Amino acid sequence: MPDHTSNGMQCHEFDGLLSDALDGVLTGLQLDRFQAHVRTCSACGPLFAEVEAGRNWLKDLTEVEPPVSLVNNILASTTGVDTQRLRVNVSAPQPRIGWVERAQAWASGAMQPIWRTVRQPRFAMSFGMAFFSLSVALSVLGVKPADLRQVSLRPAAIRHTYYNTQARVVRYYENIRFVYEVESRVRELKRNVTPTEPRSGEAAPVKKDHKDDTTQQPEQKQERNYSQTDSRIILASAPMGPSVNDLPVVSVTTYRRFV
């Protein structure tokens, strides 16, 4: 813009007052000087007309309506919560925020990332499996929730609980069918391999009649036939009979009761 003086006003001064003149805030002598400059200055006159025209053109621009989904999209991308729920009480007067509410808000904000992680299906599945495994383990060990109330932390009580638990575990182990079958097989093998000491004049060992048969079969004692007993005595005492070593080996399988 050429800087020359017209009617006591320079063009750079005109430029500074142009906005105020269009806004209608110029008054008095300043307005008169401005208008006189507009009329006489060959550069500022057309400029004033253009600026005024441009402002008038811009008046044709009305506000446009944002898309209907804009607010929902914004809320979804910021808070990520259901907007319908938030609309409740938006216009209602809000109470003053106390320190308790602030603490709660802070806590909820701090817990939000953790809660978001917890809500993931993968985490829920892992937690479920861990809980299931723990429940099975406690059930196997015989721990009941009711027992926890009676837990005493005295050293003697703890020792007692320890030995009790140990005994229970050992009992459980030994009562496993597979374990005691293996043990009996081992005992049988040992008996077969180890030679029995021959004792002359000693009768064959009479099998002790235990009541540990759990096969639900009637006891042998009830069917004892004394005539057979007598004949056995005769056989044992017969000098010409087979020696102890020649007698057939009777395999005995013992069954223990499950506790």
Partner 1 sequence: MEDVQVVAMLVRRCVAGDAAAWEEIVQTYNRRIYNICYRFAGSANDAEDLTQEVFIKMYRTLTSYDSSKGAFVTWVTTITRNLLVDHFRKTKQDRITDSLDATASSREDAQPLSEQIQDQSAPPDARVRSREVGETVHAALARLSPELREAVILRDLQDFDYREIATVLKVPEGTVKSRINRGRAELARLLQRTYRQVM
- As given in the structure block, the two tokens for residue 52 are 């005024």
239 binds partner 1 (CB under 8 A): no
Binding segment for partner 1 among 14-22, 205-213, 215-223, 245-253 (CB under 8 A)?
Answer: 14-22
From the list 66-74, 178-186, 194-202, 240-248, the region that binds partner 1 by CB under 8 A is 66-74
Radius of gyration of the chain measured on its C-alpha atoms: 53
Q: Which two tokens stand for residue 75?
A: 């809320």
Angle between helices 28-40 and 44-58 (to 10 degrees): 110
* Least separation in angstroms between CB 73 and partner 1: 6
79 lines the binding site for partner 1 (CB under 8 A) = yes
Distance CA 161, CA 182 (A): 30
**Rounded least distance, CB 86 to partner 1, Å:** 5
Select from 11-19, 35-43, 143-151, 184-192 the region that touches partner 1 (CB under 8 A): 11-19
Dihedral of the alpha carbons of 220, 223, 227, 231, in degrees to the nearest 10: -20
Residue 108 makes contact with partner 1 by CB under 8 A: yes
Shortest distance in whole angstroms from residue 32 CB to partner 1? 21
By the 8 A CB rule, do 72 and 60 touch? no
Provide the minimum distance between the beta carbon of 108 and partner 1 in the complex, in angstroms, as a whole number: 6
Cα distances from 28 to residues 8, 25, 31, 32, in angstroms, run 15, 10, 5, 6
Distance CA 34, CA 44 (A): 10
CB of 55 or CB of 159, closer to partner 1:
55
Task: State the nearest-atom distance from the C-beta of 18 to partner 1, in Å.
Answer: 5
CB 257 within 8 A of CB 214: yes
User: Considering the rule CB under 8 A, would residue 190 count as an interface residue with partner 1?
Assistant: no
Min dist CB 20 to partner 1, Å, is: 8
Least Å from the CB of residue 112 to partner 1: 9
Q: Is 137 in the site for partner 1 (CB under 8 A)?
A: no
Is residue 54 part of the contact set for partner 1 (CB under 8 A)?
yes
89: its two tokens = 């009480």
Positions of E strands within the chain: 5-6, 9-10
175: phi > 0 → left, psi -120 to 50 → alpha, else beta; which?
alpha
Contact between 42 and partner 1 by CB under 8 A: the answer reads no
Three-state SS for 64? Answer: coil
Q: Check binding of 2 to partner 1 (CB under 8 A).
A: no
Rule CB under 8 A: is residue 114 a binding residue for partner 1?
no
What residue ranges bind partner 1 (CB under 8 A)?
A: 15-16, 18-19, 47, 50-55, 57-67, 70-71, 73-75, 77-79, 81, 83, 86-90, 94, 97, 101-102, 105-106, 108-109
